[in-house]
Structure 1
């Protein structure tokens, strides 16, 4: 339930944000700037899962971290609800920080409810948890999106704050049912480590304050002074983390080999999320200006498109699970590599489909809503092929030394993909132009084909992991 309310606030924000940024009654930005801000926001949410996990492990423990994170998210949405553009970026930053802290720790607590990985109830527990995620994601655009678009943008953000407030209250009231381990700090900082960490944080914060003060007082400050460093961070940090693990001399030959294979999956996932997450920005902004957002003469808010993916996930996930089990019994279940390659190709196909509504709009007509639904459907099937497999292969291929950190590494693939989209937008690339859409679609299909072509090489590197 806590995760459901957090996803309710997150997906409500995701549905409203790009539309608010471009709307005349919102901030009235260009589509490129809106996409850049949206992409930076998403990349930060996933980038901050690593320090979020660190806080849970070393400072507060998972339970306290989740409670504080929920409060930060609620405060962020309340700040966004203020009718002032001056507080907008502060609110956005608070929501990203809170989401990073919460996302890294709440799954840990679900696992702690059971007696280790061999407990037969654990998969069922995570299934209930996953349903909560999708229920929140499904309801948010319908409720928050409708109020935000039809009544008042800031009231929509306030509803997201109310949802997170309910989530925090329910979490605190129900926390007596959680495992006592959720309150334990697994590896608390020593006094020396705490002091060193505070000194480093103060040093880098001081540099940032001085640098931005100089830029501001010199009259040279623009939004890009924030967006460019954050997008570069979203690309550089994932590369540095992967390189640091790969160079670790403590890893044995088998672990080194698995990390070499994992790089293939990581790059493929980054390309996938680069395209997939444009469903909330490029596709949504296109729908607002160039789509006939109606069914049988009934008009609906643009934000409702963001409910298509979660409802399809809930409908199709059990079907896919049944298919994999049936194929496995016959010895015909596709390998991890084939599933991954197929998911990557499908997200490329979804952008080839995007060419049809783009062509219709260029002809001066409104594109039918079903074109966009078809794009989201194709992306969702690709997600079901790639995302669960990516989570599974991350845990299977993680070196023992980095067992708890590798899930954060997987999320960094999302960070890298979204940061790349942000960099393209900042550079002035128009992401809904035919040539760019063809380039991105081709990149995904070719990357998927490359993974499939080199599947035997990757399989050899994976060792005993299928």
Structure 2
């Protein structure tokens, strides 16, 4: 009897498709490059120009402002990245293009010229926009509809890859950047991304069945608007109204608020609002409800990351300037604290996942929205440790620091941030793949990351305001707000869950109800 060997796409390792581990390694190296650069970006901006390892000598608020703009655009670029994948390239090819752009961007950052600095940031924004939403969507596509629970675990494994890369990056790139040279650190991040690109290229035979372009086979009258997204904004009253109101808000901020930059940002986001409503209009009744609850969940995402991303900005500068970093005779590099979150994730991911399984087995509330709300609350509590830390710092009459805070407060804050992230972030990724229609999967994942980007910008604004209001007010305010917001989400959980139409309880998924779409042959 002939033995039929399994094709590469059917092979499994530890119960999961081999393709998962290819995506795991690709994302691990991509996050190594991103978080490595992120760990030293603000420190490079504020480093004195006359130092042994000179930086740009910017003021703290200016550096944190650029950090906020940059991290926002990195994720907002996921919207056009998702649309390109849905309508032109497919997710698999889009990830490859994004990887090439990232290798180029990180490599350019290694050049010690100001033009190279800004050019590198632009290339990285474009690269992450193409790669990030699409590789996450591909993870969900590896699993059949009947394997919803295994899909959740697949995202946890994928999330471990993200944090392996992040932990190694902060330690290695951070040390090299702070102690050898900032641009050597940027260059090392580029080498990491090149390794990720090679891994992805090598593993294509395990991924041929996922991330391909979805061809709309409905009648031309049905699919016309989903093809011409920008034009479709002006074809319906609700999308036109959403677009118009957002544009007017941007003009008001520009004219009356005196901020052309934020005015232009809001005007640009008007197109995202309009397209989002077009996508909503394109669905049937069940799809519309699920798309609506997905959009509502983005508010939770903005709040979560608006608080959480103080790590790379305000808390990064606080670690450098106001924290006692001496441990015996060794001074810990401030950038190393960027690895604490990732290390805690590697330690606690399985524990938190097991606790939720135990909780669910006791027939307790365990929906994704509930976990996200609990995550916001726990993460917010971490800032109360930073409130204590800010009270330990003392100054002389000239305003110079004479006593710094202990580093244990930073560690405790990052611990609570990590526990909150483990409750919220992996399940949010899985939640999107369960609710979004196949034909809009990459767009919806892109919109999720765009919400993350807006949260990053909120983080930058809060970090900037610390110059005027002080760290104690900012840290305490974030902690109180996140607690109240999380409780409010829990109070409205039942109507939100009704809008999902049982997507998380079904053995199949909402895609069973969607007809008229097929994958393009490769």
Q: Distance in 1 between matches of 2:107 and 2:386?
A: 36
Tell me the equivalent position of 1:177: 205
Q: 2:314 aligns with which of 254, 278, 282?
A: 282
Q: Is the 8 A contact 1:43 1:234 kept in 2?
A: no
SS of the residue 1:357 aligns to: helix
In the TM superposition, what are the counterparts of 1:61-72 in structure 2 within 5 Å?
Answer: 61-72=90-101
Q: Distance in 1 between matches of 2:375 and 2:460?
A: 23
Q: Distance in 2 between matches of 1:14 and 1:456?
A: 38
Q: Is the 8 A contact 2:110 2:184 kept in 1?
A: yes
Q: Distance in 2 between matches of 1:47 and 1:369?
A: 33
Tell me the equivalent position of 2:38: 14
Change (3 A) 1:31 1:241: farther
**CA apart distance, 1:33:** 1.4
After TM superposition, the score normalised by the length of structure 1 is 0.82
**CA apart distance, 1:61:** 3.5
Q: Distance in 1 between matches of 2:497 and 2:152?
A: 26
Q: Distance in 1 between matches of 2:270 and 2:472?
A: 29
Q: Distance in 2 between matches of 1:437 and 1:134?
A: 25
Tell me the equivalent position of 1:379: 417
Does residue 270 of structure 1 match 2:302?
A: yes
Give unpaired runs (5+ residues) of structure 1: 200-223
Q: Is the 8 A contact 2:82 2:445 kept in 1?
A: no
Q: Distance in 1 between matches of 2:295 and 2:137?
A: 25
The number of equivalent residue pairs is 438
**CA apart distance, 1:100:** 1.4
Q: 1:359 aligns with which of 391, 404, 416?
A: 391
Change (3 A) 1:300 1:125: same
**Structure with more helix by fraction:** 1
After TM superposition, the score normalised by the length of structure 2 is 0.74
Give unpaired runs (5+ residues) of structure 2: 1-24, 49-53, 232-257, 396-401, 505-522
Q: Is the 8 A contact 2:77 2:450 kept in 1?
A: no
Worse-matched range after superposition: 22-31 or 125-134: 125-134
Tell me the equivalent position of 1:186: 214
SS of the residue 1:464 aligns to: coil
Q: Distance in 2 between matches of 1:71 and 1:397?
A: 30
Q: Is the 8 A contact 2:392 2:403 kept in 1?
A: yes
Q: 2:113 aligns with which of 81, 84, 98?
A: 84
Change (3 A) 1:243 1:431: farther
Q: Distance in 2 between matches of 1:196 and 1:243?
A: 13
Does residue 411 of structure 1 match 2:411?
A: no
Change (3 A) 1:3 1:461: closer
Q: Is the 8 A contact 1:110 1:125 kept in 2?
A: yes
Does residue 395 of structure 1 match 2:423?
A: no
**CA apart distance, 1:391:** 2.5
In the TM superposition, what are the counterparts of 1:120-159 in structure 2 within 5 Å?
Answer: 126-159=155-188
Change (3 A) 1:177 1:156: same
